[in-house]
Amino acid sequence: MDEELERIKEQKMKELAKEVGTSAPGDWPSTPVVLTDVTFDSFAAKHPLTVVDFWATWCGPCRLVEPIVEALAKEYTGKVAFGKLDVDENQSTAMRFNTMSIPTMLVLKNGKEVDRIIGAYPREYIESKIMSHM
C-alpha cells in the first residue's frame, strides 16, 4: 500500500511539474549529462537553473574542471542541472554561444544565459558564481 501511494505521489509531482514547466524531483540528474547540438535546448529548458560545461577531450584545463563539475552536480541535485558539451563534436552550439575558449561554463536560467565562467577556476569561485543565481 505504501509503495502504491508513493508511486501515485511521484506521478502527481511529475504532472504538476509539467504544468508549471519545471522538473519533478526524480528528473534531476546527479551527474553532468552529455549534451549535443540536438539535446542542448531541451535540457536547458527542462530545468530552471542549468550549468553547461563546454569542453574538449584535448583540453588540459577542462580535465581540471571536470571533477569539480561532477562534485557540484552531485551536491546540487534537485537545484541545479549540470550538462557537458564537447565543442569539437557540437560546433553549432559552441558557435551559437560564441565560445572562443574552453573550458567555458554557461549558467542558464529558464533556458537563457545569465552568466558564464571562462577558464579553469577553483571550486569556490565556480560555486559562488552559480549560487548567485539561485
Give the active site residues.
59, 62
* Contact predicate 86/116, CB 8 Å: no
> Which cell numbers in the block locate residue 78?
534537485
Rounded to whole angstroms, what are the CA distances from 6 to 9, 30, 131?
5, 21, 31
- Distance linking the first and last C-alpha atoms of the chain: 37
